[in-house]
Amino acid sequence: MGDQLATARALAGWAIPPVTAVRLGGGGVNEHWRIDTPDGERRVLRRYHLRHAAHAIPYEHALLDFLAGRSWPVAAPLRTPAGETVVETPDGRWALFPFLEGAPPPSEPLFQQRKGAVLALLHADLAEWDSPGQRPTFGRVSDLDLPVRADGFPSFGAVIDWFGGVDPARAAALAGFRERNLADLERLGYDELPDVVIYNECLSDNVLFEHDDVTGLLDFDLAHEDARVADVARSLLFDCWPRGWHLHSWMAGYATHARPRLRAKEIDLLPALMLANELWNTAVPLSISAKRGDPGWMRESVRESIDERLPAIEAAQAELRQVLRGGAGLPN
């Protein structure tokens, strides 16, 4: 009953009468409902998480409008009769989007290759967007201080200090992974790469297909500016690793369509940036669960990352570089 009342209040902002709202799965932070309007249109209603800064939303919505204008299959935000894309109610901050048809592809190397190609083509168009600069509250994947400030921590070091009082061994391990990763990123020249607009979620259920056609790119909630290979590394990590053939295929798809072409220096950075993305995906749930008491799966994810994923990715750095060079057609 609570969800239906909250969604009805939100939909009133778009002059949509109360309808049954069906909660959708997926999304680690924001909440989503499927809405079937009285005039036969299907929509998706999003409630932003409390930690999501209001002044960061216009960046996402403007980017979606740009991509929709370039005929990309994205869900650009729908405007209220007053011309707004965000509605605030006592229950939260809301946005309404079209419902995109399609389904995630099978986990096969051929579709990983296609996903890599899609991201390369998307990057080419994103480069032509008149970006206002870095998105508010966002930074490079290596900057772990910014995301934890949303939960009241002054820095990632403060999160480590808090975690040390809860689980000293894992806190020390996490700090060690972070220190070594920063050193690797500096040695490999990450700071020398230019910032560009990145999607940052070209993975998992966010890329929809109907047969061989891409019918939807979902969830631009983390779009911001970083080196393009930070975006590539995130997709490789969460969509392909540790399956070597999938990594190779995804990389081949991206490298074939990348403009400008990937340089050896960028490819050699990818393993370290995969580790950096895993650190980001560990720091944020840890920060949220520490200050907001969010579901227990976040703590479990942190434990799995520190005990299993981070050590495995760190140990595989040389092997990853070899596989990714091969996928991009470079000699090892």
Q: CATH number for the domain including 77?
A: 3.30.200.20
CA atoms within 13 A on the CB side of 330: 17
Q: CATH number for the domain including 256?
A: 3.90.1200.10
Give the closest residue to 38 by CA, choosing from 11, 64, 16: 16
Q: Is 78 helix (H, G, I), strand (E, B) or coil?
A: coil
Indicate the burial class of 95 (C-beta count within 10 angstroms; 0-12, 13-18, 19 or more): buried
Question: Rounded CA gap, 248 and 229, in Å?
Answer: 15
pLDDT in tens, 216-275: 999 999 999 999 999 999 999 999 999 999 999 999 999 999 999 999 999 999 999 999
| Plot region of 137 (φ>0 → left; ψ -120 to 50 → alpha; else → beta) | left
Domain endpoint, select from 72, 98, 124: 98
174 lies in some domain: yes
Domain housing 7: 2-98
Q: Which amino acid is at 5?
A: L
Say whether both 150 and 57 belong to one domain.
no
Number of domains in the chain: 2
Q: Mean pLDDT over all residues of the chain? A: 95
Give the closest residue to 13 by CA, choosing from 41, 46, 60, 55: 46
Say whether both 72 and 10 belong to one domain.
yes
pLDDT in tens, 8-26: 999 999 999 999 999 998 6
Domain endpoint, select from 73, 98, 123: 98
